[in-house]
Amino acid sequence: MSDASELHDLIEQVLQRYQRRPDRLVQILHDIQDGLGYLSDATIALLAERLQISYAQVRSTRDFYAFFYSEDRGQYRILFSDNVTDRMAGNQALFQQMLDYFNLQPGKVSRDGLVSVDLTSCTGMCDQGPAILVNEMAITRMTPQRVNQVCALVSAGVPLAQWPSGFFAVDDNIRRADCLLGASPEPGESIRAAIARGREGMLAEMKHSNLRGRGGAGFTTAIKWEACRNAAGEQRYIVCNGDEGEPGTFKDRVLLQSYAGRVFEGMVIAAYTVGAQLGLLYLRAEYRYLRPRLEAFLAGMRAQNLLGKDIVGVSGFDFDIEIHLGAGAYICGEETALIESLEGKAGKPRVRPPFPVACGYLNQPTVVNNVETLCKATEIAIHGGAWYEAIGTKQSTGTKVLSVSGDCARPGIYEYAFGVRISQVLEDCGARNAIAVQVSGASGACLSERELGRRIAFEDVPTAGSFMIFDKQRDMFEVARNFAHFFKHESCGFCTPCRGGTALISSMMDKIAEGRGTQYEMNELLRLQAVMKTSSHCGLGQTAGNAIADTVQKFRPAYERRLAQTDFVPAFDLDAALAKARHLSGRDDAHAHLGEEV
Ligand SMILES: Cc1cc2nc3c(=O)[nH]c(=O)nc-3n(C[C@H](O)[C@H](O)[C@H](O)COP(=O)(O)O)c2cc1C
Ligand code: SF4
């Protein structure tokens, strides 16, 4: 956009769309970037002036999120998902192929301003990788042929809307359905069932069910809802956590894609039970392709009086749902960081307490629940807590939806009653020769062959849903190194143990990979992991070293065979760093080198 008045007009239109609310800043930045391609400092300054907030506030929000750009990233911004499963499916060669085609360096824009190509964290397509995003639209199952097709379309400047629609097909791959995925209740059935039970009755059923949150921590949902209902506040909010950034997890994507009714009805039931009037779905930017159909679904619910005023004829039961888009930050899955993001800020986790149930979105009582947890509430509304409690194990009731990927014949979505053995899942998905399963993503646990008899359950192997399989051709050191890079990239930088620890772990893993690691690094990796676990501010830092600790313990030979046979090799090669000085001074004799015997 060349004309200054056009820029002013665009900003004005977007601000009007969001009623000039600074707490909508992340959405405002998205819309402006959609129009301009990137968010320059001048645009930020103009926006700050119009919103009457500080330049620093707007800029810090822009700079925090990976999908907001301060400089032009080209008409086509292509990002290759770089989860370990994408790597196993060959993403690196495809990435290089595309860079070569455009004669580009990673992250740099072509001279004609047409295209940039870079890597990004897991995009949640692990069952159909390697995956890419083109201007945040997902394309899966990349092959050398598909790379060439994409390159040709980009070179010809074909608008995304005219690309073959098959490129953007994202499959559900549901391989095993149980009571959630196998049922198809009528629209509104669960809301009516909840209303028939009454607010107290619905809460009682939730308590009876012993439903625990599916986002990872496994907190009892009824306790959360009750605390929110009882907290003092002018407004209550229901937030659906659709950030799903944990590498290897994609079940929420499938639930949002094909079970949106369950998700939204779960939000309505939560609102009814706690007395909330507004719901917010936080949708990760990688799932942006879902937004139009989710908006259409919400419109359909409004038309059926399942949202809006006096829902299903219950006087005074008013509730509606808005969709907010994330912008490429794994930490925004952490509930307080997510709330910060919803309020238009950088997604840095808050100090807790106070917890969101007492002081959440806009400092009001807020329930934050995972997508799957909310779906489960619809089952409990329809069938009751006793029915639900009878499924699974005593401490882990109901079913769990797993995202299965990696070395198996049938990657995809598997729903099981809690208590299923890891070996059963492996058998069902056609995994042969598995040497390891990474359960619950990069922050979860790495199980070895000896542990395959263990069970998926909060009391044994808890999981938010990710289930990545590695067979004997895989190198578990490289798996852990991929996760180390992920955490270094995703640490929000707020607290020192995590900011420093993830960076140090990542560089030590690189040093070991280069054959320069020693026993010193092995010891340091474990020491850093322990420091981060005990002193990081939030769950990201506390769990970022898990995979390192597990693989060092269970796959030690993968590390040891790379170690240099000395006690210590400095991380920084000072002599090499002085090469430029030697060159400038025209000297390369023994006296110009450090540590040389003369
Ligand atoms: C780094 C980090 C990332 C997280 N990402 C997610 C996520 O993507 N989705 C999610 O539901 N919960 C995520 N959580 C957990 C949330 O903080 C929160 O516990 C959850 O949304 C609560 O919902 P539940 O009780 O239904 O599980 C994450 C936590 C941490 C520490
Ligand atoms: S632990 Fe990491 S992600 Fe969490 S607040 Fe600290 S720096 Fe940020």
User: For atom 8 of ligand 2, which residue has the closest CA?
Assistant: 492
Q: How many angstroms does the Cα of residue 521 sit away from the middle of ligand 2? A: 23
Q: Any idea of the CA torsion for 514, 519, 524, 530, to the nearest 10 degrees?
A: 120
* Mean pLDDT, residues 574-585 taken together: 83
Taking the C-alpha atoms of residue 216 and residue 540, their distance in angstroms, rounded to an integer, is 12
Q: Which tens digit of pLDDT belongs to each residue from 284-323?
A: 999 999 999 999 999 999 999 999 999 999 999 999 999 9
Q: Rounded to whole angstroms, what are the CA distances from 367 to 204, 281, 355?
A: 17, 12, 10
Q: How many angstroms does the Cα of residue 174 sit away from the middle of ligand 2? A: 34
Q: Give the DSSP H or E segment for 404.
A: strand 399-406
pLDDT at 258 over 80: yes
Q: How many angstroms does the Cα of residue 540 sit away from the middle of ligand 2? A: 6
| Among candidate residues 401, 91, 129, 161, the one with its CA nearest the CA of residue 257 | 401
Taking the C-alpha atoms of residue 502 and residue 29, their distance in angstroms, rounded to an integer, is 29
Nearest ligand 1 atom, CA 371: 11
Mean pLDDT value across the chain: 96
> From the CB of 491, is ligand 2 less than 6 Å away?
yes
Query: Is the link from the previous residue into 354 a cis peptide, with omega within 30 of 0?
Result: yes
pLDDT at 6 over 50: yes
H and E: helices and strands count for the chain: 24, 14
Q: How many angstroms does the Cα of residue 553 sit away from the middle of ligand 1? A: 27
pLDDT at 596 over 70: no
User: For atom 28 of ligand 1, which residue has the closest CA?
Assistant: 334
Look at strands 278-283 and 434-439 and give their pairing: unpaired
Per-residue exposure over 499-515, b if at least 16 CB sit within 10 Å of its own CB, e if not? bbbbbbbbebbebbeee
pLDDT confidence of residue 598: 44
Q: Which tens digit of pLDDT belongs to each residue from 199-219?
A: 999 999 999 999 999 999 999
Read out DSSP for 500-519? HHHHHHHHHHHHHHTT---H
> From the CB of 543, is ligand 2 less than 6 Å away?
no
pLDDT confidence of residue 595: 66
- Retrieve residue 455's tokens: 């069970």
Ligand nearest to the CA of 335: 1
| Among candidate residues 268, 257, 295, the one with its CA nearest the CA of residue 189 | 268
Q: At what angle do helices 41-51 and 4-17 cross, to 10 degrees?
A: 50
Model confidence band, residue 395 (pLDDT cutoffs 50, 70, 90): very high
pLDDT at 150 over 60: yes
Nearest ligand 2 atom, CA 349: 5
Which has the minimum average pLDDT: 86-90, 209-213, 503-507, 590-594?
590-594
| Among candidate residues 284, 282, 281, the one with its CA nearest the CA of residue 307 | 281
> From the CB of 276, is ligand 1 less than 6 Å away?
no
pLDDT at 575 over 90: no
- Retrieve residue 438's tokens: 């990474």
* Mean pLDDT, residues 113-134 taken together: 98
Q: Which residues contact 77 (CB under 8 A, 6 or more apart)?
A: 69, 115, 116, 118, 133, 134, 135, 136
Higher pLDDT, 276 or 592: 276
Ligand nearest to the CA of 263: 1
The position carrying tokens 């995925």 is 181
* Cβ(280)–Cβ(238) below 8 Å: yes
Q: How many angstroms does the Cα of residue 509 sit away from the middle of ligand 2? A: 20
- Retrieve residue 380's tokens: 């409990």
> From the CB of 180, is ligand 1 less than 6 Å away?
no
Ligand nearest to the CA of 444: 1
Query: Is the link from the previous residue into 130 a cis peptide, with omega within 30 of 0?
Result: yes
> From the CB of 531, is ligand 2 less than 6 Å away?
no
Q: How many angstroms does the Cα of residue 64 sit away from the middle of ligand 2? A: 13
pLDDT confidence of residue 2: 53
Ligand nearest to the CA of 212: 1
Q: How many angstroms does the Cα of residue 549 sit away from the middle of ligand 2? A: 19
| Among candidate residues 98, 129, 141, the one with its CA nearest the CA of residue 116 | 98
Radius of gyration of the chain (CA): 25
Q: Which tens digit of pLDDT belongs to each residue from 526-545?
A: 999 999 999 999 999 999 99
Separation of first and last alpha carbons in the chain: 64
pLDDT confidence of residue 594: 75
> From the CB of 262, is ligand 2 less than 6 Å away?
no
pLDDT at 571 over 80: no
Share of the chain above pLDDT 90, in %: 92
Go through the chain and tell me how many residues it has: 598
| Among candidate residues 514, 513, 515, 547, the one with its CA nearest the CA of residue 528 | 547
- The predicted model scores a pTM of 0.94
pLDDT at 415 over 90: yes
Ligand nearest to the CA of 222: 1
State which of 335, 336, 494 you would mutate to test the pocket of ligand 2, scoring each by most atoms of that ligand within 8 A of its C-beta.
494
Query: Is the link from the previous residue into 353 a cis peptide, with omega within 30 of 0?
Result: yes
> From the CB of 547, is ligand 1 less than 6 Å away?
no
Taking the C-alpha atoms of residue 423 and residue 445, their distance in angstroms, rounded to an integer, is 15
* Cβ(246)–Cβ(441) below 8 Å: yes
- Retrieve residue 450's tokens: 């000896």
- Retrieve residue 334's tokens: 């952490």
* Mean pLDDT, residues 9-19 taken together: 96
Ligand nearest to the CA of 227: 1
482-488 own/partner pairs: CB under 8 Å, 24+ apart: 482/82, 482/83, 482/84, 482/87, 483/84, 483/247, 483/442, 483/547, 483/548, 484/509, 484/547, 484/548, 485/509, 486/83, 486/121, 486/122, 486/247, 486/330, 486/442, 487/442, 487/540, 487/544
Strand ranges for 140-277 from DSSP E: 174-176, 237-242
pLDDT at 137 over 80: yes
Q: Which residues contact 35 (CB under 8 A, 6 or more apart)?
A: 1, 10, 14
> From the CB of 340, is ligand 1 less than 6 Å away?
no
Q: Which tens digit of pLDDT belongs to each residue from 319-376?
A: 999 999 999 999 999 999 999 999 999 999 999 999 999 999 999 999 999 999 999 9
Q: Which tens digit of pLDDT belongs to each residue from 42-75?
A: 999 999 999 999 999 999 999 999 999 999 999 9
> From the CB of 540, is ligand 2 less than 6 Å away?
yes
Taking the C-alpha atoms of residue 124 and residue 130, their distance in angstroms, rounded to an integer, is 11
pLDDT at 445 over 90: yes
